[in-house]
Amino acid sequence: MAVEFPADYFKDYQLLDSGSGEKLERFGKYILRRPEPKALWTPSMTENEWKKAANVVFRPGSGFGKAGKEDSGTWEKTGRMEDQWSISYNGAEDPETHAASDLHIGLRLGLTSFKHVGVFPEQAPNWEFIYRETSRIARIHKANGLPAPRVLNLFAYTGAASLAARCAGAEVTHLDSVRQVVNWARENMERSGFQDGIRWVVEDALKFATREARRGNRYDGIILDPPAYGHGPDGEKWKLDQLLFGLLQNVAAILGERDSFMVLNLYSNGYSAALGETVTREAFKGNFKEMTSGELAFRDSFGKVLPLSIYVRLKR
């Protein structure tokens, strides 16, 4: 099993310290202090150093730790800072030619009531994979006179993964159940220098994938980052344990039979890379060319490794 870390060229993010169920992070010009249940160790910096460093602290609310409300709470500013600010991500250079990457993502961040700020920076290795695979498929399509690759991003949030695919030349379908989040993603598209090429869908992910399978529609890339719990725009209930396998079966049906890829990311505590591989393998019935899995993690300034999610990547 691999453990992947965002590279040092992600200049706008840094995990400064972690421990005692919290993490101290720099997003651009601001330093945030947030809960992190996986930080089981003692922080390397003192409490006083944390207090001096942080521009804002997340205070858990009464629903904190409860299913569907596990990240609820409020932000308390300890110094002057904006409610919204921007960061950027510029991709890795080509390892063979050393040419600069065309992967450039601009993101607007903001303090939300669910401890999130609009990006999950540990996902950078997945963005790189999406960009590389989409670029590879785009070259194949161009050589054979085929249209641009089609990439579907389910549970797409504020769109960093959608933009990674768009930067590589894909026509992207970006789906999330929350309209405000989709509007946020559209703003990020414009910040990244694009005016079109992304189709915006506000719908339940399972319902959409089931309908696409029934209609026989196909995609060259599919990205999934499902939460443990959630709701669709019409009140549909999402429970990862109950519905993930069925969703993956539909994804297997709508992913192109060759020159295609899938990325699955899971945050749910208790899920392992081995479990992710098994549920994906069974859903696809072995109909793939290559599968890899592992963890996405950060190493803080003192060398402590904080694992945050698991991934499964599949190629056909």
Domains plus CATH for the chain? 2-315 (3.40.50.150)
Q: What is the dihedral of CA 8, 184, 31, 34, to 10 degrees?
A: -100
For residues 238 and 240, what is the distance between their CA atoms, to the nearest angstrom?
6
User: pLDDT band at 1, cuts 50/70/90?
Assistant: confident
Task: Supply the Cα-derived Rg of the chain in whole angstroms.
Answer: 19
Task: Give the model confidence (pLDDT) of 244-291 as tens digits.
Answer: 999 999 999 999 999 999 999 999 778 999 999 999 999 999 999 999
Q: Identify which has the larger pLDDT, 61 or 172.
A: 172
3-class secondary-structure state, position 240: helix
- pLDDT of 93: 77
Q: Which residues pair with 306 in a beta bridge?
A: 298
Would you call 127 helix, strand, or coil by DSSP?
A: helix
How far is Cα 211 from Cα 140, in angstroms, rounded to an integer?
Answer: 28
Query: Which tens digits make up the pLDDT trace of 140-178?
Result: 999 999 999 999 999 999 999 999 999 999 999 999 999
- The structure tokens listed for 208 are 């959409």
Rounded to two decimals, what is the model's pTM?
0.94
